Structure 1
């Protein structure tokens, strides 16, 4: 489906039946990051979304024409995942997902890879500030990251 207008995108709470579509968005987004190591298979992505993310986090999806084009997952003030299908970026959908996920939160926190310049600009535009940098020894990818925080 080709993007046409952000107005046609609706946000809703994810259900377990959304797991395959959410895993697909995750996969498409990660594959578009040429610097990101490829650590998991599509089946592992699906298991992660189905068995870990959906049961333990609050997940909101962005849907256009019956297709999930993005999602955000939060838990206890931590923004753990925010991904869009690459062809849907730059249309305000990520901002809508971010605001839906953090509305009313006193403080929101997230980690972002230092190499992900686009994501870093996005979070900084939405009021997040870098509060700590690390060499990446605590993340699975082993990539340098940055801790962002935003006070509500």
Structure 2
């Protein structure tokens, strides 16, 4: 169910208090995606969202009425490790707001991988100016789903 957003989402740096919500959003996505096998239990996935992440990554969240409804994780070098939006809040521009903030923080460019079956995400990233790097395709990742590498070259 897509929820109507009554207030404008705010994009801000994540805090320790946001980590559980970020883990829940990722877990809910995995559970709702038929082609994505669960490689880690919900508890194991939640255990990855610790304050230690802040040492190596920039974590951004989308906040609607004091609730975290999306998140984006970027390495300090500009590699997007993941971007997830809570299922009821999709198709409201939250992913674009998160990506716009990531681009403003990393104007020299960003890279990311996208699961090959995730055509919706692939097309979203294309609209955002990312291009696939076909020579860097990962044929046999750990979970058995091919990954495509995409790059946004930044602002010229």
| 1:142 aligns to 2:119 (yes or no) | no
Higher mean C-alpha displacement, 3-12 vs 106-115: 3-12
Give the whole-Å Cα distance in 2 for the aligned partners of 1:30 and 1:24. Answer: 10
Indicate the SS of the match to 1:19. Answer: helix
- Distance in 1, Cα, partners of 2:10 & 2:56: 23
What count of residue pairs does the alignment treat as equivalent?
A: 149
| Residues 6 and 61 of structure 1: CA distance in aligned 2, closer, same or farther (over 3 Å) | farther
1:57 and 1:74 in contact (8 A); partners too: yes
Q: Once the 2 structures are TM-superposed, how far is the Cα of residue 16 of structure 1 from its aligned partner?
A: 1.2
Q: Which sits farther off after the overlay, 19-28 or 97-106?
A: 97-106
Equivalent positions of 1:81-120 (< 5 A) are 81-103=82-104, 104-120=106-122
The normalised TM-score by structure 1 is: 0.90
Structure 1 residue ranges without an equivalent (≥5): none
* Residue 7 of structure 1: how far off its partner (Å): 4.4
Does the CA contact (< 8 Å) of 1:109 and 1:150 recur in 2?
Answer: yes
- What is the 5 A alignment of 1:1-152? 3-5=3-5, 7-50=7-50, 53-75=53-75, 76-103=77-104, 104-132=106-134, 133-135=137-139, 137=140, 139-152=141-154
Instruction: List gaps (5 residues or longer) in structure 2.
Output: none
